[in-house]
Structure 1
Amino acid sequence: MGRLYWKFFIFFFLAQLTAVSGVGLAVWVSNKKQENANAQIEASPPAKSLVASAAATLKFGGVNSLKELMQYWSSRPMPQVYAVDENGKELQGRKVSPELVRSANEVLSSRLTGDERPNSLVRGAVQLIEANDGRTYLLFVPAFQKDISNTKLLGFNARPRNRHLFPVMPLLAGILASLIFAALLAWYFSKPIKQLRQAFASAANGSLDVRIGNSMGARHDELADLGSAFDLMATRLGALMQSQTRLLHQVSHELRSPLARLQMAVGLARQQPDKLESSLVRIERESARMDSLVGELLELSRLESGDVRLEKELVNVDELLFSIVEDARFEGMAKEIAIQYQANPKAITLSGQHDLLHRAIDNVIRNALKFSPSQSMIDIRTEILRTELKEHKVIIQVSDQGPGIVETELEHIFQPFFRGSASALTDGHGIGLAIAKQIIEAHGGTITVRNLSHRGLLVEITLPLANSVA
């Protein structure tokens, strides 16, 4: 058992022990108090009968009749009924202690208030009767009258009644039950926490395939939610580790080819000095490719890490697209690719970082140029989307007439270094669309891709307008 188990166990056990002891002590004190009050009043059935007889005599016969009856009883070996008025004087002039009168009043008051649960045995042992002389008399039989002998013959027992002892056995039973339930409760809470600790230790050692959701059983509490959250974390960490491993492998593969060509160019320059110029051209071209690849990798890493603080400004969409389209038309002249773009009649303004948005959209259009056949056309359109929540957005659509993408490859197109089956004869590293996706999402937008029904690919970028909340 771990330390947490014992902490839970001791805490719950002490809490329950305190509750059980407190309840037991309160019951014992209450019974003890009532016992002290009842100890001076005789409550046996014969005593109740004597009090009832005296009460009836006083009520219907008057004070003189009760005096005669009590004088008759005083000549016999039996417990005596006392009749005490409101001034504390006994009817026959006998001495009565104030404690005895107070005890009789407590028994009587508990009966009058209806609280008879602790006094059910003494009910009727004390009565209050109003006599014909205008006084009120308290009738009762004192307990343990030492001057009375042979009281057993009349059904009285002059020995003290059993007193209420401290409830040791109920307290022990409560302690045992508290011990069992505290152990179960501590185990119930500490077991999943121990499983979580072991799972975190395994994850820290590099084992990300551990899962604890199923081991939680049928729990439906915060600890079970924590176990599910751990499983989700482990799954995502595992996917991230695999992605990093795959990225490292792909980067190594992409760098290997230009490095190999650089080595060949250097070797050729040494062997054939007369071809030094062509070798230097090759070295310069491969160096530029490596510089471009490293630059794209750094940009992608910066975007994926979230370490990008957008320097937002108002960006006119038409002006942004116009500058990108002009550059794309110049590049498309070699393949006789026409780029069609018509500005939206309404001014469209975004809030974002101009250079990043330029790069994202430029990557999408350059990708369309790369896969478009000669003498084809690329169509670029903008549209304003209005929703019920008054969140106005702009949709930028870029469609080409290229071969499109295999349906099973669509979900991977925005992954770094992914190159579809149609990319075998084209240059590039497969990073441009991944960078575009990171930039668009950093601006609160989305980017999707789908094949057109006839031929080609459609890339759709959705971005919020600067005045999206009207």
Structure 2
Amino acid sequence: MKIGLRILLGYFLILGLSAWLILNVVVEEIKPGVRATLEDTLIDTAQMLATLVADDVAAGRVADSDLMQRLQNYAQRSIDANISGIRKTSLDYRIYITDTKGIVIFDSDGMDVGQDYSSWNDVNRTLQGKYGARSTRSKATDETSSVMHVAAPIMEQGRIIGSLTVAKPISTINPFIYRSQRKILQRSAWLWLGSLLIGIGFSWWLNRTLRKLQSYATSVENGDKASLPDLGNNEIGSLGRALEAMRDKLEGKQYAEQLMHTMAHELKSPIASIQGSAELMREDMPAADRQHFLNNILEQNARQRQLIDKLLALVKLEKQQSLAHVHLVNIPRLLALVAEDAQPRLQARSLQLQQQIDATITSISGDELLLRQALGNLLDNAIAFAPAGSGISMQARLHINTDNRPSVQISISDQGPGIPDYALDKIFDRFYSLPRPDAAKSTGLGLPFVREVALLHGGSIKVENQASGGVVATFCLAT
């Protein structure tokens, strides 16, 4: 499992558990909180009413009291109130009064006058001078039918002469509880969704950055041209830059050691030839022999200079991870310039260059100078191995790759002897070269140079024998 997905799943797990815990606590605390508020209101109401009816209860005129009559008529009043979006159409208080024995002497609903309520907690505890309250279901099997009762003592000269209870169905506050729970759940859902989107965004960013770094590391491992991508100014970016610096140091050290070894090996032969010719020239010899050895020194010196120049150009390309100068390169014009550069060598060997360019090909993005040098190297090889008086073909066509991406393929073919089987996997090695028909020795740096140019342009180079004879070099460029 990818690290980004692991982090995302861990984030969701923590978020889900936290949300569940918070919602569970908050939602479950709403009911007791609202009920406690209701009980507090009932306490105040009971205490106030107990004070108002104290004189009538003490005088024994409960049945004839105007106040009691008004309390009796209280429940018959009609209202229509909108409380924060919840409609209230009825009054829900029930008020009853008991004497010191717990016998109901007044009931605003007119139901239980004369009933013994001394066993109910609200009455019993209040008559004992304690706080009395109870919650009782009006229907034993219905949890929503609970009614809260809160009592207050009726006092005369410091003694309890009765109790007054105010009752209210808990179901009347349920709409407010459900509305609060619904709002909390809705807003929690939006909060969870927002956190989810933030988590997905963070995971996407982390995965994208890590994929960039992983792709770069894979390219380095495969030896491909790769520049460190923009990873941002963060810990991952610092890690990428550290890897890039480590890569440069390791590759630089290894490359320098390999370069010095191969260069020393390749320079041994011309140096030995120059030294031998110089030593022989110390002796007296005919002018013709002296001129021969002098020409040999000049030729070997030129060979060394050519070797060093081409090697420096190759080294520069091999250390380059991307093109420094990118412009639109017109393919027909580029091939015309390559052909023009090769005209002297073509004429010297009486070779005919045939060009065929697909009419749909126009321009690509790249470095024209490097492309010109690379194609020139391929054409030079074809000229060197083509039989005198034969033909060389240079074609350019549009090709659709397996991933449906178009590319330009430039192929140069000759009618020469072809590449021996033993050399097919060595021709791109630095300093490796095959004997030429004219006995001239190349530097062995041409094809490695071509390969580096192709890689810098996101393309490839393939050299293979043709079934009909000769060699075809296919230079592929991404459009």
Instruction: Provide the TM-score with structure 1 as the length reference.
Output: 0.48
Name whichever structure is richer in strand by fraction.
2
Flag the structure with more relative contact order, 1 or 2, with Cα contacts below 8 A and sequence separation at least 6.
1
Q: Structure 2 length as normaliser, TM-score?
A: 0.47
